[in-house]
Amino acid sequence: MNLNTILLITLMILVIPFIIYFKNTDKKGKMPFIFACFIYLIIASPVIYGVINHKIVQYEDADIGLGLSFFTTWFLTICAFLISIYFLIKERSK
């Protein structure tokens, strides 16, 4: 699979917890949206940096930084999913 395809799939899956968060919060306005976008950029930044670095610098052997950046982003995505599920359960129990 192409690296750009994997990056796109990763970033699209990363959006899902934020959609769940927005659907289950009762706070409306710009501040929760700005906060969620800021957190999204923080979580997505390791993998975006890793892919850009991989495209610019051509390594002769395996690029461990690229793998670690994907691992870090997927770990943070799982954490975001768990937090969004917590908000979902909290909202449904009311």
Per-residue pLDDT, 17? 87
What are the boundaries of each domain within the chain? 3-92
Q: With 90 as the cut, is the pLDDT of residue 75 above it?
A: yes
Q: With 80 as the cut, is the pLDDT of residue 66 above it?
A: yes
pLDDT digits (tens, 9 = 90+) for 6-43: 888 988 988 988 888 777 777 777 777 888 888 889 99
Give the DSSP letter string of 30-71. HHHHHHHHHHHHHHHHHHHHHHHHHHHS--SS--HHHHHHHH
CA dihedral angle for residue 86, residue 87, residue 93, residue 94, rounded to 10 degrees: 160
